[in-house]
């Protein structure tokens, strides 16, 4: 990090299912890995450290939306490890004066997303004529954020965010998993017979929703990619880039 002005820390183990199967890699990468980066940034005098986190650190919310001041109540080993890294980032700012900002985003989607995540998993399964596994009753709610909008928000925080502050970044499109699945089926010309109900995930959070008025008011953030356009472009990308994702799905 010698000579580096800004660090944007995206790196994470981020798949909830894998964290349930085994938490060790998540603690090692997300907690210990973040501490290593924070320490290096401190020692080399980095002038801005942006720590990219997740809305999952807040837990689950039945109605309304979380402000940045909401207590952290993570429910999976993944989100617990991210909450731990958030607290380390905050501590390095408060203890050492490291100029840290934290961002917490809603569910990302877009091209190049690893096919373990729900949208690329479902799209690639359907393109192969395989069914899609829908957890539980399918009524868990997520807010969807296009990767380009997420990166735009992170850039605003890197350039103009206030040291020590947390900024939620949302997409403004809340859907149940069932609604999302139906949109994906329509996008590839499949019907509901391709849905395979499966047992619900352990500790499955019912609903996420972040209040992103702070980044909008302070930094001028607003999502630009409509979900309709973003999803259509994403499905088309996976349709046209089979050679990219096929090796990633090979056991």
Residue 174: predicted pLDDT: 97
Domain map (residue ranges) of the chain: 6-249
pLDDT at 251: 67
The tens digit of pLDDT for each residue in 89-116 reads: 999 999 999 999 999 999 999 999 999 9
Catalytic residue among 13, 56, 143, 149: 56
165 among known catalytic residues: no
Query: What pLDDT sits at residue 179?
Result: 98
pLDDT given at position 250: 77
Active-site residue flag, 200 = no
Own/partner contacts of 31-39, CB < 8 Å, gap of 24 or more, are: 31/81, 31/84, 31/85, 31/88, 33/85, 34/9, 34/85, 34/88, 34/89, 35/88, 37/7, 37/9, 38/88, 38/89, 38/92, 38/98, 38/100, 39/92
Q: Which class does domain 6-249 fall in?
A: alpha beta
Active site residue 221: no
Catalytic residue among 55, 143, 149, 174: 55
Of the residues 13, 58, 68, 78, which is catalytic? 78
State residue 149's pLDDT score.
98
- pLDDT (0 to 100) of residue 159: 98
Low-confidence ranges of the chain (pLDDT < 70): 251
């Amino acid at each position: 990090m010698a000579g580096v002005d800004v660090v944007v820390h995206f790196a994470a183990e981020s798949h909830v299912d894998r964290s349930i199967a085994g938490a060790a890699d998540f603690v090692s990468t997300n907690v210990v890995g973040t501490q290593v980066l924070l320490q290096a940034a401190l020692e080399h005098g980095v002038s801005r450290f942006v720590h990219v986190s997740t809305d999952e650190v807040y837990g689950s919310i039945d109605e309304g939306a979380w402000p940045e001041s909401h207590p952290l109540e993570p429910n999976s080993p993944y989100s617990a490890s991210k909450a731990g890294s958030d607290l380390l980032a905050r501590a390095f700012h408060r203890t050492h004066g490291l100029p840290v900002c934290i961002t917490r985003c809603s569910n990302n989607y877009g091209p190049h997303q690893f096919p373990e995540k729900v949208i690329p998993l479902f799209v690639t399964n359907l393109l192969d004529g395989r069914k899609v596994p829908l957890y539980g009753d399918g009524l868990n709610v997520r807010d969807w954020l296009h990767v380009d909008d997420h990166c735009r928000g992170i850039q605003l925080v890197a350039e103009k965010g206030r040291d020590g502050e947390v900024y939620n970044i949302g997409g403004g499109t809340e859907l149940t998993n069932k609604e999302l699945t139906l949109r994906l089926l329509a996008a590839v010309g499949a019907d509901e017979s391709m849905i395979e109900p499966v047992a619900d995930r352990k500790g499955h959070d019912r609903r996420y929703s972040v209040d992103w008025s702070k980044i909008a008011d302070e930094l001028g953030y607003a999502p630009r990619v409509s979900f309709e356009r973003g999803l259509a472009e994403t499905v088309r990308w996976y349709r046209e880039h089979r050679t990219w994702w096929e090796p990633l799905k090979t056991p």
